Amino acid sequence: MRIFSRKKKKEENFDDFPSIGGLMVSKMVSEEEKKPLFMYREKRTRPEDSGWRIFSGYESQDYTNTPNNVGIYNPSTILKIDSSIKELLLKGVGSVFERENDKSSWYEVDDYELEDDYLTKHRLTENWILEINNLFERIKEESGDLLYTTGDKSLRIAIWDERGKNRQQIFEEHQQQINNRDESNAKTLDTFDFSDDFVKRIGYEIQEQDENKKYNVIYAFSLIDEEILQMAFYFDNEKDKSWAIETWKKIKTE
């Protein structure tokens, strides 16, 4: 007589998941293995923190406020409990998601207030002021460039001197570069001119790709006499194009 044994379901391995930092997770999820129904990503408090806060949706306020009821876990640990959050974990700071039950689809929440979600001003130079959401992490790179990032959208800024040139001369040089750029590697998707009486603003949009994904980039130039603010806005969601343009316009001189 042949005996048939039921095959054991192979456990998915998430050890190769990108290193995003630790997840702060309710123990209703991590220990009781309830599937998460609500999660948000706030500005991280330290380098090893991803900023993700994950809940089952059944926690009371008292439960949530008790430190012993949450723990810090590697993404692979929580993904073994619920793999449906795998793609969500790669979303940027400021992301909020919820779902009705553990069988339904996740959807993005737009009206949840995060503690650090407000506009702040940064003085870039004696001349330039940047207004940007405080959720963006500010990093000074080895090159001297400034990087502001939430993880899924970023702004890189470099500042160049053009001694002896006025803004019209600088504008004409950069406009010519945009008009004559080599499109063999990346086609120009859009061009921009948001110049006013004080600042010349021109730029263009292309699509780039790395080993993980495609994303759009707006290369932007804000020009005054003898100085160039060169920027690159990176985003992978078309709705964030408006964020890039509005942020660019808000970079002003004082």
Q: Mean of the per-residue pLDDT values for the chain?
A: 92
Q: Are residues 177 and 224 in the same domain?
A: yes
DSSP string across the chain: ---PPPPPPPPPP-TTS----EEEEEHHHHTT-PPP-EEEE---SSTTEEEEEEE-S---HHHHH-GGGEEEE-HHHHHTT-GGGTTGGGSPTT-EEE-SSTTSPPEE-SSPPPTT-SEEEEE-SSSEEEEEETTSEEEE-TTS-EEEE-SSEEEEEEEEE-TT--HHHHHHHHHHHHHT---SSS---EEEE---SS-EEEEEEEEEE-SS-EEEEEEEEEEETTEEEEEEEEESSGGGHHHHHHHHHH-EE-
Q: Is residue 9 included in any domain, yes or no? A: no
Residue type, 84: S
- Band of pLDDT at residue 13, cut at 50, 70 and 90: confident
Predicted local confidence at residue 135, as pLDDT: 96
Predicted local confidence at residue 15, as pLDDT: 79
- On the question of pLDDT at 7 being above 70, the answer is no
Nearest Cα neighbor of 54 from 92, 24, 20 is 24
Q: Are residues 140 and 71 in the same domain?
A: no
- On the question of pLDDT at 110 being above 50, the answer is yes
Predicted local confidence at residue 16, as pLDDT: 83
Instruction: List the domain range (segments joined by +) for residue 203.
Output: 119-253
- Rounded mean pLDDT, 187-203: 96
CB 26 within 8 A of CB 55: yes
| pLDDT, tens only, 168-180 | 999 999 999 999 9
- On the question of pLDDT at 147 being above 60, the answer is yes
Domain end point (choices 75, 108, 141): 108
| pLDDT, tens only, 211-229 | 778 999 999 999 999 999 9
Domain end point (choices 60, 83, 108): 108
Q: Are residues 175 and 59 in the same domain?
A: no
- On the question of pLDDT at 5 being above 60, the answer is no
Q: Are residues 181 and 214 in the same domain?
A: yes
Going by DSSP bridges, is the β-strand pair 49-55/22-26 parallel, antiparallel, or unpaired?
Answer: parallel
- Band of pLDDT at residue 4, cut at 50, 70 and 90: very low
CA distance 149 to 19: 16
- On the question of pLDDT at 152 being above 70, the answer is yes
CB 50 within 8 A of CB 56: no
Domain end point (choices 56, 78, 108): 108
| pLDDT, tens only, 21-79 | 999 999 999 999 999 999 999 999 888 999 999 999 999 999 999 999 999 999 999 99
- Rounded mean pLDDT, 116-137: 94
Predicted local confidence at residue 1, as pLDDT: 44
How many structural domains comprise the chain?
Answer: 2
Predicted local confidence at residue 11, as pLDDT: 59
- Rama region for 173: left / alpha / beta (φ>0; ψ in -120 to 50; rest): alpha
Q: Are residues 85 and 28 in the same domain?
A: yes
Find all residues with CB under 8 Å of 86, minimum gap 6, and list them: 14, 17, 79
